């Protein structure tokens, strides 16, 4: 197991930059923690779902996902997290300011909770990402079953995660309680070792 300490600044700081068997060539899996990203939970108020959907289109110029999907990456993006609830990601590091902005935009229609300090977000990409994740993920990641824009709430190696696919590389983003992120990263490094793994810090 890798011995490293998770901090809000970087979960991957003390991991080696590249772990690969000799002769493997380019790494098949690339791991990056997304820092400086605000993360909020948005929950529709009772009876306000229709109005909330209309407000989202007016304010953000896209519809909130009503199935396990995510919106395209942008300054603000939303990931389905269950009936009438979503994760909202903002491309800046001030979680409280992001939560306040969302609360103002969705005033009276949704409750907003800042999760920025409570969750870690790990980006996983590369041609062998599916193979590594298949060792512990209970979701079929074959392109015919799970593609760009799809999302799921599940477990990986007994750790609760919420994840979504960004592109066809493939690139995934996983979020989990920060206290479990060290265990998740250690598992991921071991699962990726045979394919070569690079840690981007």
Domain range 18-34+118-200, CATH class:
alpha beta
The residue among 92, 117, 112, 91 whose CA lies nearest residue 102 is 112
Q: Which residues, other chains included, contact 80 with Cβ-Cβ below 8 Å and sequence gap of 6+?
A: 64, 65, 66, 67, 68, 69, 70, 86, 151
Q: How far apart are CA 113 and CA 173, in angstroms?
A: 20
Query: Residue 114 pairs with which residues in a beta bridge?
Result: 40
pLDDT value at residue 198: 86
Q: How far apart are CA 201 and CA 35, in angstroms?
A: 10
The residue among 183, 178, 172 whose CA lies nearest residue 31 is 172
Q: How far apart are CA 109 and CA 78, in angstroms?
A: 16
pLDDT value at residue 53: 93
pLDDT value at residue 87: 98
For the chain, which residues score pLDDT lower than 50? 1-9, 20, 22
The residue among 191, 129, 130 whose CA lies nearest residue 159 is 191
**pTM beyond 0.75, yes or no:** yes
Q: How far apart are CA 44 and CA 159, in angstroms?
A: 27
pLDDT value at residue 200: 76
pLDDT value at residue 35: 87
Q: How far apart are CA 129 and CA 193, in angstroms?
A: 11
pLDDT value at residue 95: 92
Annotation: CATH topology of 38-114: Alpha-Beta Plaits (3.30.70)
183-195 pLDDT, tens digit each: 898 899 899 989 9
pLDDT value at residue 1: 45
Domain boundaries, the chain: 18-34+118-200, 38-114
């Amino acid at each position: 197991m890798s011995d490293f300490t998770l901090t809000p600044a970087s979960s991957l700081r003390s991991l080696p930059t590249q772990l690969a068997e000799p002769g493997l060539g380019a790494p098949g899996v690339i791991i990056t923690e997304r820092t400086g990203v605000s993360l909020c939970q948005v929950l529709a108020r009772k009876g306000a779902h229709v109005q909330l959907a209309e407000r989202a289109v007016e304010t953000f110029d896209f519809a909130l996902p009503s199935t396990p999907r995510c919106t395209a990456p942008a300054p603000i993006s939303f990931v389905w997290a269950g009936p009438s609830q979503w994760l909202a990601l903002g491309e800046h590091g001030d979680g409280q300011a992001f939560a306040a902005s969302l609360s103002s935009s969705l005033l009276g229609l949704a409750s907003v909770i800042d999760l920025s300090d409570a969750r870690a977000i790990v980006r996983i990409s590369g041609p062998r990402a599916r193979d590594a994740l298949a060792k512990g993920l209970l979701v079929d990641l074959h392109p015919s079953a799970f593609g760009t824009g799809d999302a799921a709430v599940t477990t990986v190696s007994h750790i609760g995660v919420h994840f979504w696919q960004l592109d066809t590389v493939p690139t995934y983003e996983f979020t989990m309680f920060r206290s479990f992120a060290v265990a998740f990263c250690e598992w991921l490094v071991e699962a990726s070792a045979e394919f070569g793994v690079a840690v981007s810090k």
